[in-house]
Structures are given as C-alpha cells and as structure tokens.
Amino acid sequence: MSDLSDIKKTREHWYQAYFEGNTEQLKEIEAADFYVSSPKGKLDREKRHEGIQKALESGQWFEQSPVKEEDALKFLFNDGKAKVSGHGKMVANGTAVSDMLFEESWIKSKQGWKVKALYINKVD
C-alpha cells in the first residue's frame, strides 16, 4: 500500500475510535507525546483520554456517532512525516455540531502511521 492509502485508512480508524470513546485504540494510533492544540489551549494525550473516559462514564459523550465531513483536504509527505490539513465538520442528526480548520502532524513508525499533533481552529 502507498503512504497515502495507509494514512487515510489510519485516520479513519483514529476518528472512529474517537467518536466511540475507544481510548485503547486511540493509544495505538496516537504517539506517546500526542497533543491537541486549540484556542482553548493545549491538551496532552493522557488528559484528553481521561476527559473522554469521564464523559463516557457520565453519559456526556456523543449520543450518536457523528459523521465527519471534510473538504479542502491536503496531504503533504516528506521522509516518513506527513501533514494533513483541511476544513471539517462534525454532523449529528443532519446538523453541524462543529466547523473547523485543522492540521494533523503524523510520523511513520515500525507499527505504521502515528499522529503526533492535532491543531484545531473553529470557524465562526
């Protein structure tokens, strides 16, 4: 398989695991030093997974798995590293629940592609 098809497949598994709240699968795809950066601040992998678990336990996670819609998607590869950027929406029950610009940083390891960072900026 090509790097492009591999990373597309891994991204789909990553997003599915996130929407399901499957932190074990997220740990397999996210690098140990993974973090999310947004206007709200920076969140490391462990704190993010703790938040997901708490939301699951309290019934505050996604009631229905939202659908991810992306456009203007770009993939840039360079020597075992990749940047994925674009515009995305999460849609639940036909309504956009978030609208954002994003950039993901990926590295290729012996286990496959691992995401290192996610940068999110909400679109008003």
Q: Where do the domains of the chain lie?
A: 3-122
* Among 10-24, 41-55, 64-78, 106-120, the least confident range: 64-78
pLDDT per position as a tens digit, 42-77: 999 999 999 999 999 998 887 767 788 898 899 999
Contact 116, 107 (CB under 8 A): yes
SS3 state of residue 40: coil
97 falls in which pLDDT band (50, 70, 90)? confident
Contact 15, 68 (CB under 8 A): yes
- Output the CA–CA distances (angstroms, integers) from residue 11 to 6, 55, 60, in the order listed: 9, 22, 24
> Span 3-122: which CATH code?
3.10.450.50
Residue 79, φ and ψ in degrees, nearest 5: 50, 55
Nearest to 120 by CA among 105, 108, 109: 105
98 falls in which pLDDT band (50, 70, 90)? confident
1 falls in which pLDDT band (50, 70, 90)? low
pLDDT of 96 reads 76
User: What tokens were used for 4?
Assistant: 């492009």
pTM: 0.90
Q: How many residues belong to the chain?
A: 124
Contact 121, 100 (CB under 8 A): yes
pLDDT at position 5 over 70: yes
